[in-house]
């Protein structure tokens, strides 16, 4: 199955499809984290049918949320944003970006800055443990941009990702394909040749 082809079924738009694809890939590559997410969802819904998952339940999936955020750090769906300076901006070294200049901000570069994110290519959801984010700048993690012109759909996108991942992990085990994907940054971050994964039904999973 090529999950990067499922934008119409799973997401409704390309950015969320990219985010879902990469987090499933990362969980496939790290079965220990995948199993922790599955157990968290099973515990939450142990006395209910999966179709009964509710809005308030989504705040009770902290580890799943950490896994999503770490995937968005490692593979941000939008890798660059642009901003027009509305006033002169003085940089720490004294140089000035003049008013009216359009600046490109590398989301990918910020998310892979080793001075902020040690071992930036390592997938480690515990970077987003509440104890580990206290000293980190709020601008170190900007998958939805930042400031007054950030993505107005970020809450909906994260909600959608949580629901899809929760219901998927209740039914399937996600396994990596043999080929390692190569990032292909376009308007949206994709995988060259598609992002391929294998899925196995869980024998005891809900139907």
CATH code for the domain in which residue 151 is found: 1.10.630.10
Helix (H) or strand (E) holding 82: strand 80-84
Q: Is residue 39 part of a domain?
A: yes
Residue numbering of the annotated binding site for heme: 151
Is residue 195 within 8 A of residue 3, CB to CB? The reply is yes
Q: Is residue 207 part of a domain?
A: no
* Spatial separation of the C-alpha atoms in residues 3 and 20, rounded to whole Å: 9
Residue numbering of the annotated binding site: 151
Q: Two tokens at 159? A: 């909600």
Q: Is residue 92 part of a domain?
A: yes
Q: Is residue 189 part of a domain?
A: yes
Q: Is residue 62 part of a domain?
A: yes
Q: Is residue 206 part of a domain?
A: no
* Spatial separation of the C-alpha atoms in residues 89 and 112, rounded to whole Å: 24
Full pLDDT tens readout for the chain, 207 residues:
344 433 333 334 688 888 899 999 999 999 999 999 999 999 988 877 766 788 888 889 999 999 999 999 999 998 998 889 999 999 999 999 999 999 999 999 999 999 999 999 999 999 999 999 988 998 999 998 887 777 777 888 888 899 999 999 999 999 998 778 888 877 788 888 888 899 999 875 444
Helix (H) or strand (E) holding 175: strand 172-176
Q: What is the pTM of this model?
A: 0.84
* Spatial separation of the C-alpha atoms in residues 181 and 31, rounded to whole Å: 18
The domain of 116 spans: 3-201
Q: Is residue 49 part of a domain?
A: yes
Beta strands in 110-154 (DSSP E): none
Number of domains in the chain: 1
Q: Is residue 135 part of a domain?
A: yes
């Amino acid at each position: 199955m090529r999950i990067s082809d499922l934008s119409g079924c799973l997401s409704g738009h390309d950015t969320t499809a990219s985010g879902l694809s990469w987090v499933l890939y990362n969980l496939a590559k790290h079965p220990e984290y995948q199993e922790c997410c599955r157990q968290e969802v099973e515990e939450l819904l142990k006395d209910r049918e999966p179709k009964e998952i509710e809005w308030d339940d989504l705040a009770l999936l902290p580890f799943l949320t950490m896994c999503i955020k770490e995937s968005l750090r490692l593979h941000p769906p939008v890798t660059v944003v642009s901003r027009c300076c509305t006033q002169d901006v003085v940089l720490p070294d004294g140089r000035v970006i003049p008013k009216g200049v359009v600046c490109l901000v590398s989301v990918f570069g910020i998310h892979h800055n080793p001075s902020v994110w040690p071992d930036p290519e390592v997938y480690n959801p515990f970077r987003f443990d509440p104890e580990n984010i206290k000293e980190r700048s709020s601008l170190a993690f900007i998958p939805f941009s930042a400031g007054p012109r950030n993505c107005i759909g970020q809450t909906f996108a994260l909600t959608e990702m949580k629901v899809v991942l929760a219901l998927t992990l209740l039914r399937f085990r996600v396994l990596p394909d043999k080929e390692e994907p190569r990032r292909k940054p376009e308007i949206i971050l994709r995988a060259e040749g598609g992002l391929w994964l294998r899925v196995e039904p869980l024998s005891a999973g809900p139907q």
